[in-house]
Amino acid sequence: MREDSRQTPETVERFLDSTLGSVDSAEELAVDAAQRAGFDEDDLMKIGMAVRESMVNAVAHGNRYNANKKVRFSVVSNTERFTVRIADEGDGFDFSRLPDPLSEENLMRASGRGIFLVRSFMDEFQIRRLEPAGTEVTLVKYMASK
Amino acid sequence: MSVKLNTRQIGDVSVVDVAGRITLGEGSSALRDTLREMVSKGQKKVLLNLGEVSYIDSSGIGELVSAFTTVTNGGGQLKLLNLTKRVKDLLQITKLYTVFDVHDSEVTAIRSFV
């Protein structure tokens, strides 16, 4: 992280349509906010990718591109943490049984790497079921220099 | 920018120059369609030049894996050329870097096909 980083607290919140265009929008919003927060190019790439993967899950798997369902997207940036929350209105899934994409049986699968990449790129990653419906993921990148 | 594909032939090797973003949607499906067409035409030696790929997500990685599986199951070979740092890092993180035969020289890559 740059030493001259501006760490002005910031909050961004949007309700996005369940489209691939929203995936691009969310990624751009997150990367722009992360840039203002002072993250370097490597972290910007990681944050952007983690947001993209999470948004794809919300849009494609959670809301299934349903025009009547929205994705709630927020970024909260302060002096200690850069936090992105993404919530869909889907039916939820059993996230305790996510397949390991690195296992021999799954390595050559065409899909199933999204959450693994999010966990690889962010410092914290949490999933929770929402009531009455939906799933929310929380992605955190620490502001402190590595 | 989405993905731009240019196909050229060098001897019996089909080279696909890929530029832009290989992401879920138009980008990954364009790559998939091009490779499927090649396989259906019986092309056995495919070299994906990824030197101008600016961005790839997990769907794009999945398309590379699918392409590899499709070509090799058909008795062919698929190799990668000119990986950018981003693509290389992603393939390494996902333990796929050693699955592919990766080259940084087109001449060497072409010669490596048996």
Residues B20-36: tens digit of each pLDDT = 999 888 888 888 899 98
CA distances to A76, B35, B48 from B29, rounded to whole Å, are 34, 10, 15
* Cross-chain residue pair B62–A107, CB shorter than 8 Å: no
Rounded to two decimals, what is the model's pTM?
A: 0.91
pLDDT, residue B1, reads 56
Closest CA to B63 of B102, B101, B18: B18
Task: Look up the ipTM and state it.
Answer: 0.88
Among A85-99, A118-132, B50-64, B96-110, name the one with the lowest average pLDDT. Answer: A85-99
pLDDT at A5 over 70: no
* CATH code (residue B12): 3.30.750.24
Class of the CATH-defined domain A11-142: alpha beta
CB atoms within 10 A of CB B111: 11
- Confirm if A1 and A40 have CB atoms less than 8 A apart: yes
- Rounded to 10°, the helix B58-73/A41-56 angle is 70
Q: Which string of DSSP letters, residue by residue, matches B27-43? A: HHHHHHHHHHHHHHTT-
> Could you tell me which residues are beta bridge partners of residue A74?
A13, A85
- Confirm if B64 and B99 have CB atoms less than 8 A apart: no
Task: Please check whether residue A103 touches B, CB under 8 A.
Answer: no
Q: How many structural domains does chain B have? A: 1
Task: Please check whether residue A45 touches B, CB under 8 A.
Answer: yes
Structural domain harbouring B56: 3-112
- Confirm if B27 and B60 have CB atoms less than 8 A apart: yes
Residues A59-89: tens digit of each pLDDT = 999 999 999 999 999 999 999 999 999 999 9
CB atoms within 10 A of CB B85: 9
* Cross-chain residue pair A110–B57, CB shorter than 8 Å: no
* Cross-chain residue pair A53–B86, CB shorter than 8 Å: no
Token pair recorded at residue A107: 């390595």
Token pair recorded at residue A67: 């025009």
Q: Which string of DSSP letters, residue by residue, matches B100-112? A: SEEES-HHHHHHH
The beta-carbon neighbor of A117 closest among B25, B58, B96 is: B58
The rounded mean pLDDT for chain A is 92
pLDDT, residue A94, reads 80
